[in-house]
Amino acid sequence: MRDQILTTSARGLKEDSFPFRLYQKAKRLGVWDPRDIDFTQDKEDWKTLTAPQQQSILRLISQFQAGEEAVTLDLLPEIMLIAKQGRIEEEMFLTTFLFEEAKHTEFFRIVLNVIGEQGDLSHFHSDTYKQIFYEILPEAMNRLHTDESPEALAEAAVVYNMFVEGVLAETGYWSFYRMLDSFGKMPGLMKGIEYLKRDESRHIAYGTFLLQRLVCEHPHLYDHITQKLNDLAPLSLQLNQEGAEQSAYDVPLEETVRFSQNQLAIRLEKVARARGKTIEEIYKPKESV
């Protein structure tokens, strides 16, 4: 039973808050249709790749495809908890978040259909990959069904937004650019990656905001957040090593690791900015959205 309807109260909507501004940005930039992308050249480019190159790209696509499906399925507990807390502006943004994750799932399936890959690609999911997407991610998100504590919400945001999106996906985009964009191959796929990257930047921004809010409200969580990210970091390194061992493209492992570690450092630094700040400062950051 709710106490009141916020938008008909004197409170109204916090239109200058960070989550609401993200919602406005999602309305402007998030409305794209995977089926509007022209994949004609991609179909031809795919035929020009060597078998090992195709396997390298398929491995990356299959991991993105499964990852996007996983995050689409796993996001609902977080949305439900935020809604239960009555944070209307955050929930409004999260409705666009779920819509976009579903669209990303559709996008990669379209790519696979275009290049004629309709078989089972789960053999590209290593034990490390399965540990992250089959175990750690769903467990952290589904925990919110029974555990509504700030600690559980912080862990979900760390796993989903900071690690899966902020480290793994960002490294995956970088790998796509190194493998295909630099050679002018598969422009439809790369156009979709451009849209995905733009969408994910908003998702990561929300995750950062959420963790900053939680640190502001519960300062002890900062150590918990940093420890969780540091615990996850070796899994990123292992995925990078596996990718390098199986790649037909000359992308030095040290460059991939450096990029991935830099993404991790950026996430930690941004969460650290919340320490000592008021909740008003968190809701109204100086950075433009």
Cβ-Cβ contacts under 8 Å for 145 (sequence gap 6 or more): 77, 80
Q: How many CB atoms lie within 10 A of CB 62?
A: 20
User: What is residue 220's predicted lDDT score, i.e. its pLDDT?
Assistant: 94
Separation between Cα atoms, residue 196 and residue 190, nearest integer Å: 10
Identify whether the C-beta of residue 19 lies closer than 8 Å to the C-beta of residue 208: no
Torsion region of 237: left, alpha or beta (phi above 0 gives left; psi -120 to 50 gives alpha): alpha
User: What is residue 242's predicted lDDT score, i.e. its pLDDT?
Assistant: 86
- Written as tens digits, the pLDDT of the chain (289 aa) is 666 676 656 677 888 899 999 999 999 998 999 999 999 999 999 999 999 999 999 999 999 999 999 999 999 999 999 999 999 999 999 999 999 999 999 999 999 999 999 899 999 999 999 999 999 999 999 999 999 999 999 999 999 999 999 999 999 999 888 888 767 899 999 999 999 999 999 999 999 999 999 999 999 999 999 999 999 999 999 988 887 777 767 677 788 888 889 998 998 998 998 898 888 888 776 556 6
Query: Based on C-alpha coordinates, what's the Rg of the chain?
Result: 20
Residue with structure tokens 């109260």?
9
Identify the CATH assignment for 17-283 out of 3.10.20.30, 3.30.1490.190, 3.40.120.10, 1.10.620.20: 1.10.620.20
Of residues 193, 196, 137, the one with CA closest to residue 163: 137
pLDDT digits over 97-122, tens only? 999 999 999 999 999 999 999 899 99
Taken in order 110, 113, 119, 121, the sign of the CA dihedral is negative
Identify whether the C-beta of residue 246 lies closer than 8 Å to the C-beta of residue 56: yes
User: What is residue 9's predicted lDDT score, i.e. its pLDDT?
Assistant: 67
User: What is residue 145's predicted lDDT score, i.e. its pLDDT?
Assistant: 96
Separation between Cα atoms, residue 240 and residue 79, nearest integer Å: 31
Identify whether the C-beta of residue 140 lies closer than 8 Å to the C-beta of residue 156: yes
Q: Say which amino acid occupies 286.
A: K
Cβ-Cβ contacts under 8 Å for 109 (sequence gap 6 or more): 65
Q: Say which amino acid occupies 254.
A: E
Identify whether the C-beta of residue 223 lies closer than 8 Å to the C-beta of residue 130: no
Domain range summary for the chain, segments of one domain joined by +: 17-283
Q: Say which amino acid occupies 288.
A: S
Separation between Cα atoms, residue 151 and residue 153, nearest integer Å: 6
| Number of H-type helices and E-type strands within the chain | 13, 0
Backbone φ and ψ of 85, nearest 5°: -80, -5
Taken in order 262, 268, 271, 276, the sign of the CA dihedral is negative
Q: How far apart are the first and last CA of the chain?
A: 34
Residue with structure tokens 């175990």?
135
- The DSSP annotation for 25-79 comes to HHHHH----GGGS--HHHHHHHHHS-HHHHHHHHHHHHHHHHHHHHHHHHSHHHH
Cβ-Cβ contacts under 8 Å for 55 (sequence gap 6 or more): 246, 248
